[in-house]
Amino acid sequence: MCSIFIMLSSLVVDHSSRMAESTDLEQLMNSFKRFAIHGDTKATGKEMNGKNWAKLCKDCKIIDGKNVTGTDVDIVFTKVNPETVHSDL
């Protein structure tokens, strides 16, 4: 789970050149859990799949279609967490 937070913060820093104003870890954890369980009644909120990661990036406007695309966030997710992405193949 920690690697997802590192991945998210690096995308925000690299592509918008500023960190979000609120750095409240509790709010970040709550948001992560909500996206992690989205659409999956069996999810615990401790791990996130690639589909929900892409939704998080889209909803947070990290994906802008020019600098960061859906393919970019898919590639980053796969590199950081390949076993979650391939677990149901």
Domain count of the fold of the chain? 1
By percentage, how much of the chain surpasses pLDDT 90? 20
Model pTM score:
0.63
* pLDDT at site 41: 86
Above pLDDT 70, what percent of the chain? Answer: 64
25-68: per-residue pLDDT in tens? 778 788 888 888 999 888 888 888 889 999 999 998 999 988 99
**DSSP secondary-structure letter at 61?**
T
pLDDT at 85: 44
> Smallest Cα–Cα separation from 19: which of 64, 78, 32, 28?
28
89 pLDDT above the threshold of 70 = no
Q: Is residue 19 part of a domain?
A: no
Q: Which of 41, 42, 70, 46 is nearest to 56 (CA)?
A: 70
Please tell me the predicted confidence (pLDDT) of residue 80: 85
Residue 18 counted as domain residue: no
CATH number of residue 44's parent domain: 1.10.238.10
Whether residue 32 is contained in a domain is answered as yes
Query: Angle at Cα 41 formed by Cα 43 and Cα 25, nearest 5°?
Result: 45
- Fill in the DSSP letter of residue 19: -
Domain that holds residue 45: 2-11+24-86
